[in-house]
Amino acid sequence: MEKGIILIVDDEENIRDILFEVLSNEGYECERAEGGEEALSKLKRKPFQLVLSDILMPGMSGIDLLKEAKAADRDLSFIMVTAVHAAETAIEAMRLGADNYLIKPFNLDEVILSVDKALHRRRLIIENREYQFHLERKVEERTRELHEALKKIRASYRATLEALGSALDTRDIGTHAHSRRVTHYALLLGRTLGMNDQELETLERGVYLHDIGKIGIPDDILLRPGKLTKQEMEIMMTHAELGKRLLSKIDFLNEASEIVYSHQERYDGTGYPRGLKGEEIPFGARVFAIVDALDAMTSDRPYRRALPFEAARAEIIRASGVQFDPNIVRVFMSIPKEQWLKARERPLHYEEEREVA
């Protein structure tokens, strides 16, 4: 195997020949040039890896050759050969990118060593650059794959939420719009309470799906307009636990299922299904209770007209510490009416595509 291709540039024939012989014996493929111009035209025709050049030559100098050759191929190794009196020029050559310089009369072992070193260094630089390049490509590729995967996951989350939402829709007219409004209210309140993005995401899912358990309640109980018997009421009340059971099997809804499970609890402990009290009730469910009441009171029901916003707020203050967490009620009260009205009209992002389509 070739160790490398070297161009020897010197105006003195005997020096060219000595270097040619020594380096050829070392296994290098060598060519000779008498001066800078000839060297440049040879460099254009063959992929040399190293130039060994004299500095002072008639015509183009070794320094000019170095500049031009390096500009054409930044990976070209370059060793300057100089007379003692040109040591300063040799240093200039190093500054311009030469790997080394040899002072005449040179020791042949030193020439071989310099050439080996320069070519070794060249290989390392190229390998390192290729490694960097591949690394960057690899990172880019992985990042792209990750983005794709996340996009797919999000799409499947959305599809799942939509499927669950519309499953509920087919059973209980009006629930879906209620879920949407309450979800926006909950996000507004949750954000004002300082919940972080992850907590808000869980809150959003839990609130949106709070009544999902109703898909397991028989039609004649769920859809009956009149009053329910005590036994029917008990069946109706199982919807909180049914919802939890349904969602806890879906990995990304597992946390949200706690809100679903506790959405009918009351701060004073008189709610269901567990009769949790105060801070035993998951925070998201305590947030939900307030915004659910707000929406229920400000929406028309078959048995009564919607209350004005201010009246609903007054009712919530009245139930603070009884039905609702007083600390959350305080933050609820700090949010101006306009913000609630704005949240009320916003479409939910799972639905956006469906609504446009």
Q: How far is the CB of 207 from Fe ion (least distance, A)?
A: 11
Nearer to Fe ion, 99 or 211 (CB): 211
Q: How far is the CB of 356 from Fe ion (least distance, A)?
A: 30
* Sequential DSSP letters for 124-154: HHHHHHHHHHHHHHHHHHHHHHHHHHHHHHH
* Sequential DSSP letters for 81-95: EE-GGGHHHHHHHHH
Nearer to Fe ion, 273 or 321 (CB): 273
Q: How far is the CB of 261 from Fe ion (least distance, A)?
A: 11
Nearer to Fe ion, 54 or 211 (CB): 211
For residue 40, give both structure tokens. 């440049």
Binding status of residue 265 toward Fe ion by CB under 5 A: no
Interacting span for Fe ion (CB under 5 A) from 179-187, 206-214, 319-327, 338-346: 206-214
Nearer to Fe ion, 31 or 211 (CB): 211
Work out the number of other CB atoms within 10 angstroms of the CB of residue 20.
Answer: 18
271 to 300: interface string for Fe ion, x by CB under 5 A:
------------------------------
Residue of 259, 254, 261 whose CA lies nearest to 285: 259
Q: How far is the CB of 292 from Fe ion (least distance, A)?
A: 8
209 to 248: interface string for Fe ion, x by CB under 5 A:
--x-------------------------------------
Interacting span for Fe ion (CB under 5 A) from 26-34, 204-212, 277-285, 317-325: 204-212
Binding residues for Fe ion, total number by CB under 5 A:
1
Nearer to Fe ion, 211 or 265 (CB): 211
CA distance linking residue 284 with residue 110, whole number of Å: 78
Q: How far is the CB of 142 from Fe ion (least distance, A)?
A: 44
Nearer to Fe ion, 170 or 334 (CB): 170
CA distance linking residue 190 with residue 208, whole number of Å: 14
Work out the number of other CB atoms within 10 angstroms of the CB of residue 347.
Answer: 12
Nearer to Fe ion, 161 or 289 (CB): 289
Using the structure block, give the residue that is written with the tokens 């919802």: 243
**Residue whose Cβ sits closest to Fe ion:** 211
| 3-state secondary structure (DSSP) of residue 303 | coil
CA distance linking residue 218 with residue 302, whole number of Å: 21
C-alpha to C-alpha distances, 219 to 22, 162, 185, 241, nearest whole angstrom: 99, 22, 29, 18
CA distance linking residue 52 with residue 12, whole number of Å: 13
Interacting span for Fe ion (CB under 5 A) from 81-89, 93-101, 203-211, 337-345: 203-211
For residue 298, give both structure tokens. 């400000």
For residue 210, give both structure tokens. 């709070």
Interacting span for Fe ion (CB under 5 A) from 81-89, 208-216, 217-225, 328-336: 208-216
Q: How far is the CB of 135 from Fe ion (least distance, A)?
A: 53
Residue 32, phi then psi, degrees to nearest 5: -120, 150
Nearer to Fe ion, 211 or 255 (CB): 211
CA distance linking residue 203 with residue 195, whole number of Å: 9
Under a CB-based contact definition with an 8 Å cutoff, are residues 312 and 296 in contact?
no
Residue of 109, 91, 84 whose CA lies nearest to 22: 109
Q: How far is the CB of 210 from Fe ion (least distance, A)?
A: 6
Q: How far is the CB of 283 from Fe ion (least distance, A)?
A: 18
What residues make contact with Fe ion under the rule CB under 5 A? 211
